[in-house]
Structures are given as C-alpha cells and as structure tokens.
Chain A
C-alpha cells in the first residue's frame, strides 16, 4: 500500500485545483513487493478505467520498466501478468504524493496516504 492501482485513481482535489492535478508525483518513497491474487477477469475489466501513461510513468518512477509506453492492442497472459505485478504487487510504504499543479503534499505513512485537505483548500 499505496499500490499503483490506487495511485491511478487519485487526483489532487484541493479547491480550485482542477487541471494538471493528475497523476500525483511520488516523492522520497520506500517500496515493498508483496504477492497478490492474480485475477485475469479483474485486470481486463479494469483496463478501460486506467490512465495508461500515468501508470507507466509511476511504475518507471518506482523502477519498474516492464510495461510498454503504449497500451498494447493484444491482451495476452504475459501482458496481464506484468500488469498484475505493477498494479497490485508494488506497495509504496513511506514517502509522499505531490500534486504537479498546486504542489500539495499528500504524505504516505505506514502505507496509508493522508489525502485530507486543509481548511483553506476545501470548496
């Protein structure tokens, strides 16, 4: 935790921060790798909801270069295994996620990101 599947779903939501607020940039992270259940149907179902370039970028930032820059048309088992690993098995345990636009820092402690906004940031 924070896994890249979650990272791919979180955008900065500070008041007025509505463009260039995704993907959040990892900062000073420590990661752990842990096995997760492989489910091909889940991955296939989730693909249309993914922001592919954001996923590839985040994976590379964490040192994993197994995914192609372009989402492939052919979805085979080998690809799904790689996707599974990147989405579900890389855990960011400490560090922070930073908004590329407003620079809000969302700290990650003990695997749990703190996405709370400060008083002046809520709508």
Chain B
C-alpha cells in the first residue's frame, strides 16, 4: 500500500528536482510514485504529492535531497478551505489517532505571499472540527499540522503587503514529518566561508546536487579528473565516499601554502581522511593501471570561459622537439617541469569523457558532469550523440543563464563488458566528426565570447543556400 506524502521544495534549480529524488530513492533502494496528472508534476510549483511505501522512505529523502524543505503526511488539498475541510473529514482515519491525547500546534504559511496574523488564527480555528483534545504546545508539540496556501507568482508587481490575501490557487494540509535536513548543507559548504577556493570553484548548492547524482555513500570510490579546487570532492566525501582527484594543473589543488588547499578545505568539513589522493596529470595521458575502478566519476570540465581545458601536446603545427626537453629545470612554484599544453575542444572533451568513464567505471557506475550549451541551438541529440554502447542517459537538468546554460548530465554504465582504455585521438576524432552530428556545445568558448551571435560566415551561407 502506497501512502501519499506532501513534499514542499525550495523553488530553485527546478530541473534538478526529480533527478535528485530518483537518485536518492535508487541509492536507498525504494520506489517513488509520481503524480499522474501533468499539472501535479509541474516543477514550477513548490508542492508535489509523492507516493511512498513508508514514512521511513519520506525521511530518507528529506535527509538527503538538497531541494526538499518539508515533508508532511498528506491529509487534504482544495481550491478553497471548504474543499480542504471536506477532503480532510473524508480522510479522518489518517488523523483520528491524534484526537485523544497528542500535543500539537498549527503552522499556517504561504508560498509567494504573507498571511496576516489575524487570518492565520481564523485558519487554525476553521480546523476545530477535528476536535483535538491534547494541549497546544508551541515549543515541543508531538505533532505539527501544516497549512500551505499556494499563490501565483506576483513577481515584478507593486502591491500592499497583504493585498490579494486569500486569493490563493490551492491550499495543502498535512502533518509535518520532517523539515528537510539536507538543505542547510548549502550554508555549510558555502564557498565564501571555505578556507580554500578559486575563481572556478562550483557553488555549494550545485556541488551538493551533483554529489547526490553520483549516489555517493560510505565505501564508494569516486574520481574527479578535473578536480581543480575540489568543490565536488568535499560534498561527495561528506556523503561518505572516498575521493580521488587529478588535474593537469597542480597549482589549483595545492594553493600557495602547505598542506595542499584541497586538504585544508576538506579538513574544515571533517572529510580530509576521505580525500584518498590528488595527482597531477592530464586525463588524456593518464597513469591508471586498469579500468573498472570507480563507483562514480564527478566533474566540472573546464569549458573555456574562466579556464580553458588543456591537454598535453603543442598548439599549432609546430613540429615537436626532437630532443628531450630539459627534464628538471627547477621552477619557483615547485613544478619541476611543465610540458606544453594545447586547448581541448569542449565537444571532443565531452565525448572522450564518456568513453573514459565506460572504461574506468564499475558496472552501474555513474558519470556526472556539466555540459555548457547554447540555449537557442541546443537539441536533445547533442547529448544523445555523446553516448556510446554500454552508457545510458539517466538525467539531463538545465541550469539556465539566458543565452547559454549548463546541463548536469548523469550517465550510467549499463554494461559489465570490458572495454579497452580510450585512445583520446584528436586526429581520428576530427575525421570521424565529419559525418556525425555537430552539437551546439562545439566550440563553446568561441560562441561565448561572440555573445552567441551567429557568425557572419553562417549568415552568408544562409543567403547563398
């Protein structure tokens, strides 16, 4: 028997909501039944009724999902209070057990509105037919009954504070089970309060959402091949996983003082012992002895705006040096030798990452990474064209910045077959790309700095064509 629970979500990153719920339920091994009617699944609304097997499952979600604010046992909903009361009376079997001797309080609140005190009292009194005989306890009640009024978004209008009071779209009523306890982690991991960060550090909330997509939990081993200043290492380690990080540029991981910056920040969060190791290398020239190692790969690849992706090799067509480069010229920043690097084009990097993940992940392991996209040109095929045999798309959530956005892509390895290590061959990639789909994120850096305008060249093409 499934039970209905009323979930109240923070109204941010709406596109990440359902993937986060699904990942968390997969992690703990239970099912969520989502509402059938499309309007009841609309993530622009903060309320959603989810059906679960038990209250325990509701609690697991509220302790892990960053976007959950409250979880309640659902009693009633309605377009008016008359409807709510009628619905609520019909479902009295859910709350009868609290009538005799349970201390309680009411919480009356609204979304997109502030309800004046006097009407909050009226609302509470309108539930008097429930006839609760326990004492009212505002500090430590046994149960909290919650009323949520849902108002339309009044963004951008000028109005009196209580104007439109009572003109809600819907009222929701239930018994509070838990206040979402994962949501405060957004403050805990606030980048501004972190002892070590850089200009490419990922904001806390997104780092946490990413960590949840990896199904991080104690005993898992998770790898970030572009670890940078470690933003996602802290959140995945917080959920108990061991983390390995690598980066082509060791300075990002180290900072200027000892111990390394990532270790200092990890210590601040009490997870330093779970940062297994940090290594300096180019992921296209990596020293991993074998594949089939990681439960997840989580990463925010550099896409060229604040920091460009680099790989070993020379730019342009200059011939490489014949003789070995001077091997150990001491440099002031403790890097004994920095080989030449060249830019790493984004669509090439993204496709390589999927192939690398297929080799490095254990079966059912997940690859979680951000892909920046050009809003107007994006099509779903851009992401599907990146996939290869044995890798399937689990989630694709957009964080929209207007003319561009970034998509959090979650891919699962579905195969137990062994694949050879990837070759990362740029030459072959170019020839192969001739007859395959060109994604909108190709040459993202150039498009970004052109302000996402169509280049003159393509306008010419259109005229001719």
Contacts and interface: CB of A to CB of B under 8 A. Distances in A.
B273 A12 contact: no
Contact of B277 (A1, A22, A117): A1
B221 to A, nearest CB: 7
A3 B276 contact: yes
Interface residues of A, number: 39
B278 A10 contact: no
B460 to A, nearest CB: 39
Contacts of A116: 248, 280-282, 285, 312, 337-339
A2 B313 CA distance: 27
Interface string A3-16: 10110111111000
Contacts of B339: 116-119, 122
B314 A39 contact: no
A111 B279 CA distance: 9
A117 B312 CA distance: 8
B336 interface: yes
B217 to A, nearest CB: 10
Counting contact residues on chain B (CB < 8 A from A), the size range is 35 or more
B259 interface: yes
Contact of B320 (A8, A10, A114, A119): A119
Consensus secondary structure, chain A interface: loop
14 contacts: A1-B277, A5-B276, A8-B289, A9-B289, A22-B289, A34-B273, A110-B258, A113-B279, A114-B281, A115-B287, A116-B248, A116-B312, A117-B282, A120-B322
A13 B221 contact: no
Interface of B: 218-221, 242, 244, 246, 248, 250, 253-254, 258-260, 263, 273-282, 285-290, 292-293, 312-314, 320-325, 327, 334-340
A69 interface: no
Contacts of A42: 218-221, 242
A45 interface: yes
Contacts of B259: 110-111
Nearest to A37: B273
Contacts of B219: 39, 41-42, 45
B282 A88 contact: no
A100 interface: no
B312 to A, nearest CB: 5
B269 to A, nearest CB: 14
A107 B329 CA distance: 13
